[in-house]
Structure 1
């Protein structure tokens, strides 16, 4: 464990103006607060915050951050209070300590809820001051270094999984790659011990078989560059076990098939020599196509800069090479900490683009559940990146597999909401088209557009998915309230007497709901029956009604203004379209399902779940199912398609269901405006000589088990 004077000497060695008294007070306060507490290893608990502070001195962080590291567990694990911290060390240190303090476990919460709530509070604190993240990562790194002292295997695995899912990606996102690699290696050893041991054995065998191959190749690289007048430091290493295992699983290959196990780092004096070194290496050895990346001209989102390439070396191995200057190397070693500069008074300000942190904070505002929050944040933190450009040349970084929808939301939320189309490299493409590295993307927008639920099928970023989900969720809630109010009016019309002015408020109280909107939503979702609503509005009124058979309501409820797929869904068995006589079926916690009145599926639904519905003026069209039999002659299919096009009917699906010598039978799904439109289409098809018959397919009978 570091002694008090050793820790302070470390800080003064890189910051002679550091507040020595502050560090001394923090050391003494923490030592007294933790007292006789022990860690799982048997060491004094106080050794942990001191080692965390020691890790941060390697990053040359300021005195407030070092003091925070020393104090970070005092509020949670001792009798010390936040007020004491603020009084003794000032508001800045107190705020940092509060941001780093771990939350107490809440027994009533599930693991996901607890993890999500911890992540929520942590990300908010991190967005306010990045030093919170630096202390937390150092805290987690030291905990991982001592993970083997924890006796319970399930606890070790839980900590390792949390580290792999959250803290290692966070370290990578701020460029602290050494932190990331060490955390991943320890977590991998705990989570996949057999794979870890197997890869280490293979690496050991490779060393024995090839001698000191890494040193030989590094010496050759250094010699080549030196002969051309480039003074370079060359470091070589084998990739760490988790990186090797991840490539093996992603590529579905064995260790023997993995050709790029060795990586080398070339450090030169300036940017010009970076590119000179790259040219010399490519002249000497063949480059591996597709493996060159220029992170100097297009830095990563965390500020990382370097040239990456892979070559086929003379020793018949493929090696990866990173080329950077000394400033880039410092940034790669220390990540975001390398961007901090000391200012008067001991305060420091970040000089790094932390837009990705703001993206995570936006996700916090849009996640509806702990599972959703964890899903979106992991997506935002833990994905390989590609680079794309706006027409104005602005660089946008996205995960692999991102689409124009993700690009639009990365530029601005409003642009994402209003997206109607996209051009990639000048060509109009579907919104689900994956963006490739280096593409130029132009988003076509309309103020009349709204986010579409179907976008969830191909949105890849956590930010885009969170925005779409929130919009759809809010729209669904608003439409459920509107639909529930229509159901409510129908129930009120069946009451035996007029309601008192405060009847609705009293009903909300009797049903123990927060407000009338929630009541309407529960009605629409089928969580309250008509009898329950009547009884809550007018106690005793539902008794006689429950004894009578339910009769069709002459006042059918209009669906005007409601969106298919949100407040209600159109049954796929009978595909109703505007103009059909329809009935809705309510299911608990689900949208109303709309059927044609003749649909056989209705026979299986209890009549008390039926709702009499009407389309209402201006209802949007639907999808109709047709069976069209055409003559087996050249051009018959073209005739059918031409008629549908002339009638402005978009073909959704076309299937050849039966064929013989004389006729071909097609099952066709088409978009129509209403029943009248459908009848005109059928009449036009039947009038064509190439068409033998055209009929709307009857509703399908329910399957019988």
Structure 2
């Protein structure tokens, strides 16, 4: 029995003669509902029609025709009564005086929750349209986490809007079509809803590039007779062999859509004829065992192409899709793509999370729904750490990769990640703490760096160290939003801690020059100063000092004035601030001179950047001496950690294989190469700039010594 309230209500059920044709279309589309449920559906229409009275669509039709059409789209998916009622009323909270409380009283809390989940946030004030759209999207994802039916209604709403896009202005058409192709069609794909995804893509493509869509559509429809005959011959041969083997099957030929053809032409640089020169068939059988039997039959009719077989039955896609894929070498020299699956797999492939809708009978969620829930849960985990809605929306777009790689943990569990995912993405997929402390990985038992891209079928294990921390460079090679968000959050945390510590040292030194210290400043004076400078806590002031937004000497003077302190002997004490190299968030090393541990250095206080470190002999230091108040006396601590960038100019004999010899020599001394650039080149000698990472001057000397030993090297010089 449906959970929609069907108690006596203020709104009466309209009689048959009061029901318009568009509502009758919906009633004909729900043969699976009983009479009592149909009465609730009709009452929902009456409530919606009354609420939207006087409102019209841009096409001129009464507004209520739109939500009813959305319900028709959903009825074709056999969804439950609550979803249909919520679809009919999905715009009432947003666009009419009807309230959430009134909806809950009339149709139950579940319906009110669904309608509220689909409702946009237009009532709030946003700085621009993008921010409003992104925040509405974030709200929808939160609602989806509570009830997946929210996204069913939203996708059906978007589909009907796309079908009736003609009434919109050119700008609106382009914006809506782009958003559909970038966000909603990929979400439908991620949730396994291929029928809706295909139509959204086709309508989006048609709205965005009408001429291209029209040309491709005409060329598909005007397929030559020869091709149609070839298709029939292949179909007959496959059908005959399947029947001979006693298999019960359905065989359908697949026609490519304009969007999929256009995408293939764009991404693979193929012509229309090359893309169309592929025959596609789908074989639907009774059981999983029959799938593998049918695969053997297909391979006996035509030879399979090597390396083109994929088993998505044993390892389903992240959206629950299951099928066997193989490519055969056809009789006309054209590839034949064959998909083999069961009836249930076919239903899930077409309808995804809407297949066998669990709420209808209160049953357990299907595997597709369980996967969808876990995907959304992961998104929301990253959302909590994301600063802005726009960043969250970008993260979701990154996560909507259509292609996945499937990887095994050491225990044999399967994880799916986007194509181009690295070992570091895998680490964060296992757990955020594993990612934050990762140092390397073992892929198929071989030790590899974290930036290594993974391919399907690999067994991956992450090596961690408690002392390891995320590095800013990690953001350059991770592919998943979960990894990117976790790294950014951790770096912000580390930067803040570094800034507070460094700011404390800088302020203490400035106060010492005035014969005081932070401990000797009266608490009342410190509180008063924090209030004046609008810093909520001392930590915020210290971080501001380190980041160059406040000068330590000015803060020290302000604090020491009322503290009864004065300079002990009128002179400044230049005790150096010692750095360990781990303060990367608030200390940057100048690109002009690339200082490394062991160099004589100075610091220059820059607003927003903190301290920029230069070598004393850097030509730019002369200019900085003109602002002594920004000069910071710094030196290297006894224990310095991390890798530091340095550039070498290496002159070598200009012949093949030299670059590899130099690179090998650098690697042998445990140094990484960041970049290589040819500076000069003639027939005999080449000057090359190597950007490398070293731990300090001694390590750099080892690298230079090793390079000089090569008989192809004429000279090495630090830049």
- Shorter-normalised TM range: 0.7 to 0.9
Deviates more, 1:236-245 or 1:491-500: 491-500
Q: Which runs of 5+ in 2 are unaligned?
A: 1-19
Q: Is the 8 A contact 1:340 1:348 kept in 2?
A: no
Q: Is the 8 A contact 1:628 1:691 kept in 2?
A: no
Q: Does 1:57 align with 2:72?
A: no
Rounded Cα–Cα distance in structure 1 between residues aligned with 2:659 and 2:59? 78
Change (3 A) 1:618 1:246: same
Rounded Cα–Cα distance in structure 2 between residues aligned with 1:19 and 1:641? 74
How do 1:281-680 residues align onto structure 2 when only pairs under 5 Å count? 281-342=298-359, 349=365, 351=367, 352-354=370-372, 355-493=374-512, 499-529=521-551, 533=555, 554-560=574-580, 563=582, 565-605=584-624, 607=627, 608-620=629-641, 622=644, 650=671, 652=673, 674=696, 677=698
> Which residue of structure 1 lines up, in the alignment, with residue 142 of structure 2?
124
SS at match of 2:371: coil
Structure 1 residue 413 displacement after superposition:
2.1
Structure 1 residue 244 displacement after superposition:
0.8
- TM (norm. structure 2) is 0.84
Q: Is the 8 A contact 1:586 1:610 kept in 2?
A: yes
- TM (norm. structure 1) is 0.85
Q: Does 1:191 align with 2:211?
A: no
Change (3 A) 1:48 1:645: closer
Q: Is the 8 A contact 1:685 1:694 kept in 2?
A: no
Structure 1 residue 611 displacement after superposition:
2.1
Rounded Cα–Cα distance in structure 2 between residues aligned with 1:593 and 1:453? 17
Q: Is the 8 A contact 1:96 1:131 kept in 2?
A: yes
Q: Does 1:228 align with 2:249?
A: no
Q: Is the 8 A contact 1:259 1:318 kept in 2?
A: no
Rounded Cα–Cα distance in structure 2 between residues aligned with 1:689 and 1:267? 65
Rounded Cα–Cα distance in structure 2 between residues aligned with 1:279 and 1:645? 50
> Which residue of structure 1 lines up, in the alignment, with residue 188 of structure 2?
171
Change (3 A) 1:257 1:514: farther
Q: Is the 8 A contact 1:62 1:348 kept in 2?
A: no
Change (3 A) 1:552 1:456: farther
Q: Deviations over 1:335-377 (max 9, x none)?
A: 1121433566x68755532322222112212323444322221
Structure 1 residue 166 displacement after superposition:
1.1
Rounded Cα–Cα distance in structure 2 between residues aligned with 1:369 and 1:290? 43
Rounded Cα–Cα distance in structure 2 between residues aligned with 1:201 and 1:657? 54
Q: Is the 8 A contact 2:498 2:586 kept in 1?
A: yes
Structure 1 residue 652 displacement after superposition:
4.8
Change (3 A) 1:289 1:564: farther
Deviates more, 1:267-276 or 1:498-507: 498-507
Rounded Cα–Cα distance in structure 1 between residues aligned with 2:178 and 2:511? 54
Rounded Cα–Cα distance in structure 2 between residues aligned with 1:398 and 1:32? 48
> Which residue of structure 1 lines up, in the alignment, with residue 170 of structure 2?
153
SS at match of 1:463: helix
SS at match of 1:256: helix
SS at match of 1:274: helix
Rounded Cα–Cα distance in structure 2 between residues aligned with 1:433 and 1:34? 56
Q: Deviations over 1:531-589 (max 9, x none)?
A: 76468758999xxx9xxxxx9861333334x6253221222332323343322223333
Structure 1 residue 505 displacement after superposition:
3.3
Q: Is the 8 A contact 1:644 1:681 kept in 2?
A: no
Structure 1 residue 167 displacement after superposition:
0.8
Rounded Cα–Cα distance in structure 1 between residues aligned with 2:250 and 2:711? 78
> Which residue of structure 1 lines up, in the alignment, with residue 12 of structure 2?
none
Change (3 A) 1:495 1:694: farther
Change (3 A) 1:299 1:630: closer
SS at match of 2:597: coil
> Which residue of structure 2 lines up, in the alignment, with residue 248 of structure 1?
265
Rounded Cα–Cα distance in structure 2 between residues aligned with 1:215 and 1:426? 49
Structure 1 residue 601 displacement after superposition:
1.9
Q: Does 1:87 align with 2:109?
A: no
Structure 1 residue 154 displacement after superposition:
1.0
SS at match of 1:157: helix
Q: Which runs of 5+ in 1 are unaligned?
A: 546-550, 701-705
Change (3 A) 1:661 1:170: closer
Structure 1 residue 442 displacement after superposition:
2.1
Rounded Cα–Cα distance in structure 2 between residues aligned with 1:468 and 1:527? 25
Q: Is the 8 A contact 1:18 1:63 kept in 2?
A: no
Q: Is the 8 A contact 1:510 1:536 kept in 2?
A: no
Q: Deviations over 1:368-418 (max 9, x none)?
A: 344432222111113311212122221111111111111222222222223
Rounded Cα–Cα distance in structure 2 between residues aligned with 1:271 and 1:438? 21
Q: Deviations over 1:481-534 (max 9, x none)?
A: 322333333444566998553334333433344444333333322233457646
Q: Deviations over 1:586-613 (max 9, x none)?
A: 3333243211122112234462433222
Q: Is the 8 A contact 2:190 2:402 kept in 1?
A: no
> Which residue of structure 1 lines up, in the alignment, with residue 255 of structure 2?
238
Structure 1 residue 36 displacement after superposition:
1.7
Q: Deviations over 1:2-34 (max 9, x none)?
A: 6556535644x2244874454333222111111
Aligned residues: CA RMSD: 4.0
Q: Is the 8 A contact 1:511 1:536 kept in 2?
A: no
Number of equivalences: 681
Rounded Cα–Cα distance in structure 1 between residues aligned with 2:704 and 2:240? 83
> Which residue of structure 2 lines up, in the alignment, with residue 548 of structure 1?
none
Q: Is the 8 A contact 1:567 1:591 kept in 2?
A: yes
Q: Deviations over 1:134-181 (max 9, x none)?
A: 11111111111111111x111111111111111111100111001001
Structure 1 residue 639 displacement after superposition:
13
Q: Does 1:103 align with 2:121?
A: yes
Q: Is the 8 A contact 2:382 2:485 kept in 1?
A: yes
Q: Deviations over 1:268-291 (max 9, x none)?
A: 222222222221112212323333
Q: Does 1:35 align with 2:50?
A: no
Rounded Cα–Cα distance in structure 2 between residues aligned with 1:123 and 1:637? 51
Q: Is the 8 A contact 2:498 2:583 kept in 1?
A: no
Deviates more, 1:488-497 or 1:250-259: 488-497
SS at match of 1:14: coil
Rounded Cα–Cα distance in structure 1 between residues aligned with 2:304 and 2:318? 26
Q: Does 1:72 align with 2:90?
A: yes
Rounded Cα–Cα distance in structure 2 between residues aligned with 1:579 and 1:455? 27
Change (3 A) 1:259 1:552: farther
Structure 1 residue 207 displacement after superposition:
4.5
